[in-house]
Chains A and B, each alone.
Chain A
Amino acid sequence: MVPIQSYLVLSAVLFVIGAAGVLARRNAIIVFMSIELMLNSVNLTLIAFSVYLGNATGQMLVFFVMTVAAAEAAVGLAIVIALFRRKKTVNLDEINIMKW
């Protein structure tokens, strides 16, 4: 049986890769994908703890995280489309209409 530390280290690595993607990439769609990576790594942590503690609450939380991720992807991609119509780019460095 794989110890829970292995699952935690794996999800930490996936979370950090997603965080690096959010910080380093400037394409809005790839930033979104990195956010999905981070959400997924947190889901893995929740499932691992849920199973190793014998408590289903973690799996319920994963269910709701997936719902929120679907809603977030729909609204976020609609915002990307609206910004692309206005600016003709999805480069986050050029989208600065809310910058003071």
Chain B
Amino acid sequence: MTLESILFYVLSAVAIASALLVVTRRSPVISALYLIVNFFCLAGLYLTLHAQFIAVIQIIVYAGAIMVLFVFVIMLLNLGDEPKLRDRMSYKKVIAVGLAAGLLTELIYIIETSWVILPATTINDFTDIGTVEYVGGQLFTGYLFPFEVTSILLLVAIVGAVVLAKRKF
């Protein structure tokens, strides 16, 4: 067992555990903190795939910017804990978990039966496609138009957020 596979299994175990804790905790603040743990694990997994640029962006944008926004809104709304789990156990939750289990079975069946067409492990030839140099070069040549449209999207989001949060409904 190489160091790389040990790292993969540790990071994926922590990622799955923290994802489960995100959806099961009653307090939104604790969910947000476990979500940050999950984002860091995913950044580590991107590093095992030699995608350095995306790993750094994951930490800066997701764990930094987006989660600060979430925690700020939780603080602003001053929400308390939800009622205890057994008080709100209903048939809806049982149906939700059943549907999710069915979806997981389907996805794993598809992945395990399509191993013939999946790419083989020839990662060593392409270790440079995740670097800042390569990704930046691609962004400003082949993907320049989508990159510029992104700025309009962000402008629309800023205006939309301000309008929605200011207006009295």
Interface, chain A (partner B; CB < 8 A): 1-10, 12-21, 23-25, 27, 29-30, 32-34, 36-37, 40, 43-44, 47-56, 59-60, 62-64, 66-75, 77-86, 90
Contacts and interface: CB of A to CB of B under 8 A. Distances in A.
Contacts of A21: 22-23
Interface string B6-45: 0010001001100110110000100110010011001001
Nearest to B19: A17
A97 B53 CA distance: 43
Contacts, number: 227
A56 B126 CA distance: 10
Contacts of B100: 16-17, 19-20, 23
B135 A63 contact: yes
A40 B38 contact: yes
A60 B28 contact: no
Contacts of A36: 35, 62, 66
A35 to B, nearest CB: 11
Interface string B70-88: 1001101101001000000
B77 A70 contact: no
Nearest to B102: A16
Interface residue SS majority, chain B: helix
A77 B135 contact: no
A91 B115 CA distance: 43
A49 to B, nearest CB: 7
B107 A16 contact: yes
B66 A54 contact: no
Contacts of B19: 13-14, 17-18, 37
A23 B66 contact: no
